[in-house]
Structure 1
Amino acid sequence: MVDILNLTFEELEKFLVHELGEKKFRARQIWQWLWNKYVRDFDQMTNVSKQTRALLKERAHITWPEMVKTQVSQDGTTKFLLRLADGALIETVLIPGSQGRLTQCLSCQVGCAMGCTFCATGTLGFERNMTMSEILGQVLVAREYLNDVAERPILRNLVFMGMGEPLLNLNEVMRSLQTLNSDFGLLFSPRRITVSTCGVNPEGLRELGESGLAFLAVSLHAPTQELRAQIMPKAARWELGDFIDALRNYPLKTRERITFEYLLLGDVNDSLEHAKQLVRLLAQTKGKLNLIVYNPSGDESDPYKAPTEERILAFEKYLWSKNITAIIRKSKGADIKAACGQLKAAEKTEAEGAE
């Protein structure tokens, strides 16, 4: 049985023509039912002949991720715990913005192999890569959920900043980006999509840049190779200087900039000296900086704490004084464990306790 949501438009066209003996125009019809009208049943495709629908039911299936748990924060952040067809659990988050617009944070791997010491997903380890249908299934689930919300907020932006490292699942991420950009499907412009990497795959970084299918964000979190090796040991295998050199040569469109993400960890990377080192590191890049205030897990084993307000403001002020565009992003959804991996970790703990 073919997972029809895991076919790109060209693959769907070939499947219909070569496997089912259909005409090419059927591909566009079925594609719109899948990605524009969000059907889960071939029988709902009313402009497709009964004979074709019967063939599709014999040879293919439509499988969405299953909603396991939904949590809504006081600040409007909504987190979903989803179960994939093989039972694997992943997370996706809807983050509120201005004028009722939402950003969805997507996962691309079940778990993560990077092992960053401040990330709950990193502590869970890596299970497997996700397919295109599993990645984009998160968008389908979110849009169905939003259809039942009275205010009908708009899902405007997508960020690949959930569970997993996108460049370590490059093939499926690129296929997902191509489908997202479809003119008669999900209709997301590249300007509304951001892919975040911590820097592990030079060839993948180059391919993403040359595709022009998304903006780039970089999980930096440390201004020196030594500190990065302490808190992001696997990402630091690509030496920081070489990584920054690659980013200087990253292809950018007019007025496009790389977004650097810097998680402020109390007394770890939040001093004025760290800010000075960061300015020197980013001086020759075309980018902007998101300063993210660490959201402690509340677990006694958490090795990190949030920085003080004084250190946050001093860090930001110094960056601005050196003409570095820096914006403080407060973590959202703290009351529902919205940080990446926290909900899955809690679910795993509950399940183990029930055994």
Structure 2
Amino acid sequence: MTVDLRAVWAPLLASAALASILGTVLGVPATWLMLWAGLLLLLLALVARWSPVRPGAVAGGLGVVAVSVWPVPLVWETGSWLEISGVAGFWAVPALGAALAGGYLRRQASRMEQAVRDARRDQQLELARDLHDFVAHDVSAIVVQAQAARFVAEQDPGQAVRALERIETAGLSALASMDRTVHALQEAGGGPTAPVPGLAQLPDLVDRFEGGALESDPVAVGELSREVDTTAYRVAVEALTNVRRHAPGAAVVRVAVRRAGAGTELSVTNSAAPRGGGGLLARRRRGGTGLAGLRARVEAAGGTLRAGAVEDGGWRVCAVFPAEENALR
């Protein structure tokens, strides 16, 4: 059976303080009372650090009184009230100092615990964004390809087979994204880490997207820091996912990475969706983090995000990131 010391310190201090006050009244030798006062100072610090507030406050008050009054009998007969008050006040200072020291340690521990809670909450939000950015993209691809396979199965079985192959690829990609999330959880527990995808995986991402076309400048990609590179890839994933959700059937989707002044620009532009398009995915889509969350992610990496309609009725998402020498670290 284990004993919770946090519940023991306050009763122990209260008992020791009452014993000290009783010894002072009964005339216990001053040497013993002074040694007892040293013990009370230690208990005061421990109570201020560990005990619950209400019992700690009561025990702490008794402790301060006990430390303050033990030398009073030494000046009681010869001293004035002013001298008696001065002696008691002088010994109250170390008692209050011990309590303040314990309270300071308590406050620091509380701040550390709050920082840990904040870090865990931030990590949970990051994992949620990972699932939204990567898994939702692959799942939407599975739904679109399943729709296509259903419509072409009777007329062109070969196209259905290719759609099933793309479904398999998207499913494997979704599993890989889930593995990255699990690795992130393991990292939080001290386990091995997994690399986060960046623009190096952008060609594979666009190849899996029906109607996707990629234009990438290697020099512009190389100027991005690792953090910005990862953020740019997430922007591409989210933009392509939104094309599937809101413009299914768009004939052309262009992804471009190019120089833009002193930085690098990533843009995803889709043509207008055909009338009546959408099918099952459009009917069942639900809102995700949206442009607000995407813009917050880009701005956190030091970039800017714009999104809006284009002349042909399509949509364009454009993020501009700083070059490595100006990027956030």
TM-score clears 0.5: no
Larger strand fraction of residues: 1
TM-score by length of 2: 0.23
Higher relative contact order (CA 8 A, sep 6+): 1
TM-score by length of 1: 0.22
Larger helix fraction of residues: 2
